[in-house]
Structure 1
Amino acid sequence: MLKKLFKSFHSPLRRAPRPRSTPEVLSSSQHPLKRNEISRHAISVVERLQKAGYQAYLVGGCVRDLLLDIDPKDFDVATSATPEQVRAEFRNARVIGRRFKLVHVHFGREIIEVATFRANHPQGDEEENSNLASRHESGRILRDNVYGTLEDDAQRRDFTINALYYDPTQEHILDYARGMHDVRNHLVRLIGDPEQRYLEDPVRMLRAVRFAAKLDFEIEKHSAAPIRRLAPMLRDIPSARLFDEVLKLFLSGYAEYTFDLLLEHDLFAQLFPASGAALKQNPQYTEKLIRQALINTDDRIHDGKSVTPAFLFAALLWPALPARVLQLQNKGMPPIPAMQEAAHELIAEQCQRIAVPKRFTIPIREIWDMQERLPRRSGKRADLLLENPRFRAGYDFLLLRELAGEDTGGLGEWWTDYQDANDSERRQMIRDLASKGESTGNAPRKRRRSNNNRRKRSDDSGGE
């Protein structure tokens, strides 16, 4: 398929694609896209808008993925119609967004996202008088509802591989930024000046990494060059938006390669400052634990199994936690309260950078708390732990720590055997721990005096 796609196109590498007022047009014989590979609902949206007199195309990731023989996750439409005009054409449409107005056209569970052609932002006095667009003093775009032509829209898109427009009616592709060249050469390249585009929206640095990891592409050298220097600008991005971006980075099936790219471009420490510091202080253990967690996450996704962000964040942040716990213990705080206090502080700090919702921070703390409880196995404690709803996650996390090289004294193997044992075998395992003098996590109890002894002391001392 790709041979057919690219045999007619060959051009030398270039620094940045120049703006084009007219696109390169690829007819149906010059590309492999077929209507029957595309959502019928997406095609119907395009055709309906065209019949109403508007320009409309499939655009972005769906076109790119189809060219690479990847099943698109969703289908996006770009049109000359404004959001209000799109909504007027479809009963099942809803306008969403404030920073970037879009229309969602609902077909049962499938949603076709429709965006109006955008233009580059006005500059200087023109921008100050515009209530449709605004920028941060750093150059970051805060609001983006400046509409324009198809040509404008192509030039303000972030990457060349996302600036390909497909018309299912004519079955041709419009290429304004020579994105076909970069698809063929497996390159992620920004349209325009990379530094300026990153200043407009620093999240583009994360998007470059995400596309490179997902597609197994290289970030083109001029597009990669400013990233290390501009990485601190991610601190200006709203923490809620960064949470969404991090989920896309790590929960799409290519988390390990994403981690490598984030490290290569000095982006990881901007997202996880405490873990970035732990990577410098204890690089071997920290990287091994995080990498193994990401490998496990990728494996589960590829096997069609569920993945919880709580476990992933617990692993990403864990390497920064033990030192904090130890500091509190050295001040006289018992192990479990020390764990709880350190966990609270670490998560609070992290949420300043990435707004992890409470529905995930609570289980993160419970998974960590379980690491202090799992060694405490005497009496009925082991059975009570097995009944804890967070036991499985805590146990899996214990095994992850051991895979990273942490010595737990065989605790993971013990819990593995305990889960498989019957009642009598479990009682024997508890007795064996006590007989061998192995720690079960219990501090020695002070012997209680009997009431008789207390009464006798009271009588001897003259009490009533």
Structure 2
Amino acid sequence: MNPTARNDAKLALRIIPREQHTISRKNISKAALRVLYRLNEAGYDAYLVGGAVRDLLLGGHPKDFDVATNATPDEVKKLFRNCRLIGRRFRLAHVVYGTEIIEVATFRGASEEEGVEGDRHIVDGRIVRDNVWGTIEEDALRRDFRVNAMYYDISDFSVRDYVGGIKDLEDRVLHLIGDPSTRYREDPVRMLRAVRLAAKLDFRIDASASAPFAELGPLLSGVAPARLFDESLKMFLAGYGRKSFRMLEECGLLKFMFPATARALKRGDKALRSLVEQGLENTDARVAEGKSVTPAFLFAVLLWGEVRDLAHTWATHGKDINEAWARAAMHVVAEQCQRVAIPRRFTITMEEIWSLQPRFEQIQRKKVFRLLAHPRFRAAFDFLLLRAAESPAIGELGQWWSHAQQLPHETLAAALPLHQANAAGEAEPARAGAPGKRKRRRKPAAGKSGTV
């Protein structure tokens, strides 16, 4: 750690005995307990650390359990046959029990003196390799937030707090350990982690921790896009996506992650904001219900405003409508992937969801049935429903397609026109939505079928 950051952080050990905290071993995974006990029995210090301790103290149920120890990675590997060593930047031991992986990290040191075991490499203030081993006190100072620097001691079941994490839990606030600017320069992703953690825990970010965002936010453009994709998934697909999005925008960091989204929202489009927030809320609800979620749909929601506006602009300048949508999608995806590396398997789905939106307006027999049979119909239809706030016509269109899916094939076919009603291609979806109520097919009046 930079000496300035280290000197700004104060150590004041507070030990909370078993009878004074709420952590119970029955809420810790059996795999994590096996690792802790094995290390302890072999004569090493062994602690549950980080988010698991934080969440257990808050009454939560962690999914991941990390262990900190004074055993080196090689010593850990000798104790566990089911262990593999990973990482160059941070050397770690992964102990594998079936589908569960317990991450074991050796205490990180703060010393940069010669002769200290391990190695550290810093470029322009950023830690690119850090394998200097140290003491538990040094390890506590190396962690990001105070609430993540508490240790559950398997030897006596106490909790060790070196930097005031317990008080921050009580105050529901996030403080960085050390000088915030220095810590963000070491790793700019810590700014995103502050937002994500505050959203997850419903905490506030202390002013000292959020103050550098405006100045240091541009550092996020230097972070590997693949890493930012992983951070995006943690932020938006973990059940608190809407809160994360709002905080990301309030903190001024959205434009560094999703520049197209920030631009579109800055234009003051209330319908777009409604679509984005409703999409995030729906995703949070699915996560809470244990249902599957896909990054493709969510990224399609986040980038919709820019794609739609570009497609409409190019279409009004004489571009073929399909070409306009394809070009807009490619342009927005290409820009976004420079910041967040969305895998191609997801961008293909996003582009299909977008390109199908104008096809919902084509109320014509062959086109309706062709769209109903499209493999991305369901995702595109759900997206159409999110767009209801864009205009009354889009809302009626969503109702028409909802009704159409409930009709028998023959009834729907009999109610649909073979061709567009006029050259303008104008239509009234609500009128088209009433076919099931008529007993015989009627020829639609001019201007009452086609597109919205």
Provide closer, same or farther for how the CA distance between residues 131 and 350 of structure 1 changes in structure 2, counting only shifts above 3 A: farther
Counterpart secondary structure, 2:345: helix
Counterpart in 2 of 1:462? none
Contact persistence 2:94–2:102 (CA under 8 A): yes
Provide closer, same or farther for how the CA distance between residues 118 and 405 of structure 1 changes in structure 2, counting only shifts above 3 A: farther
Moved more, 77-86 or 244-253: 77-86
Counterpart in 2 of 1:114? 104
1:398 to 363, 384, 397: 384
Contact persistence 2:296–2:350 (CA under 8 A): yes
Contact persistence 2:387–2:395 (CA under 8 A): no
Give the Å deviation of 1:54. Answer: 1.8
Contact persistence 2:40–2:154 (CA under 8 A): no
Aligned-partner residue type, residue 386 of structure 1: L
Measure the CA separation in 1 of the matches of 2:389 and 2:183.
41
Aligned-partner residue type, residue 440 of structure 1: G
Offset from partner CA, 1:362-412 (integer Å, 9 cap, x none): 100011111122222313211111111100000000110114557427211
1:201 to 177, 187, 208: 187
1:438 to 416, 428, 448: 448
Measure the CA separation in 2 of the matches of 1:314 and 1:439.
29
Measure the CA separation in 1 of the matches of 2:338 and 2:201.
31
1:135 to 110, 116, 122: 122
Give the Å deviation of 1:244. Answer: 0.3
Moved more, 417-426 or 66-75: 417-426
Give the Å deviation of 1:299. Answer: 1.1
Counterpart in 2 of 1:80? 70
Counterpart in 2 of 1:268? 254
Counterpart in 2 of 1:358? 344
2:90 to 100, 110, 114: 100
Measure the CA separation in 1 of the matches of 2:228 and 2:393.
34
Give the Å deviation of 1:37. Answer: 2.1
Counterpart secondary structure, 2:394: coil
Contact persistence 1:292–1:404 (CA under 8 A): no
Counterpart in 2 of 1:418? 404
| Equivalent residue runs for 1:289-300 within 5 Å | 289-300=275-286
Find out whether 1:369 has 2:369 as its counterpart: no
Offset from partner CA, 1:333-380 (integer Å, 9 cap, x none): 111111011101110110000000111111000111111222223132
Moved more, 70-79 or 92-101: 92-101
Offset from partner CA, 1:178-236 (integer Å, 9 cap, x none): 11111111111101111111111111111111111111111112112212222111111
Counterpart secondary structure, 2:200: helix
Give the Å deviation of 1:255. Answer: 1.0
Provide closer, same or farther for how the CA distance between residues 187 and 403 of structure 1 changes in structure 2, counting only shifts above 3 A: same
1:69 to 59, 64, 67: 59
Moved more, 274-283 or 169-178: 274-283
Contact persistence 2:300–2:354 (CA under 8 A): yes
Find out whether 1:342 has 2:328 as its counterpart: yes
RMSD over equivalenced CA pairs, Å: 2.2
Contact persistence 1:188–1:212 (CA under 8 A): yes
Measure the CA separation in 2 of the matches of 1:391 and 1:121.
58
Counterpart in 1 of 2:31? 41
Contact persistence 2:388–2:395 (CA under 8 A): no
Contact persistence 1:17–1:177 (CA under 8 A): no
1:234 to 220, 224, 235: 220
**Please, what TM-score do these two structures have when normalized by structure 1?**
0.86
1:152 to 128, 134, 138: 138
Give the Å deviation of 1:122. Answer: 3.5
Measure the CA separation in 2 of the matches of 1:360 and 1:65.
32
The number of equivalent residue pairs is 422
Measure the CA separation in 2 of the matches of 1:330 and 1:368.
18
Aligned-partner residue type, residue 31 of structure 2: H
Counterpart in 2 of 1:5? none
Measure the CA separation in 2 of the matches of 1:199 and 1:406.
48
| Equivalent residue runs for 1:179-190 within 5 Å | 179-190=165-176
Give the Å deviation of 1:47. Answer: 1.5
Counterpart secondary structure, 1:389: coil
Measure the CA separation in 1 of the matches of 2:80 and 2:403.
60
Measure the CA separation in 2 of the matches of 1:426 and 1:363.
28
Aligned-partner residue type, residue 389 of structure 1: P
Contact persistence 1:166–1:173 (CA under 8 A): yes
Offset from partner CA, 1:226-264 (integer Å, 9 cap, x none): 122221111111000000001000111111111111111
Contact persistence 2:389–2:395 (CA under 8 A): no
Counterpart secondary structure, 1:380: helix
Find out whether 1:18 has 2:9 as its counterpart: yes
Counterpart secondary structure, 1:190: coil
Aligned-partner residue type, residue 42 of structure 2: A
Measure the CA separation in 1 of the matches of 2:250 and 2:317.
38
Measure the CA separation in 2 of the matches of 1:430 and 1:79.
70
Find out whether 1:258 has 2:244 as its counterpart: yes
Measure the CA separation in 2 of the matches of 1:274 and 1:200.
27
Measure the CA separation in 2 of the matches of 1:330 and 1:250.
34
Contact persistence 1:251–1:297 (CA under 8 A): yes
Contact persistence 1:293–1:400 (CA under 8 A): yes
> Structure 2 stretches of 5 or more lacking a match?
1-6, 418-430, 433-442
Counterpart secondary structure, 2:239: coil
Measure the CA separation in 2 of the matches of 1:101 and 1:427.
64
Counterpart in 1 of 2:160? 174
Counterpart in 1 of 2:422? none
Moved more, 367-376 or 321-330: 321-330
Give the Å deviation of 1:131. Answer: 8.3
> Structure 1 stretches of 5 or more lacking a match?
1-15, 443-464
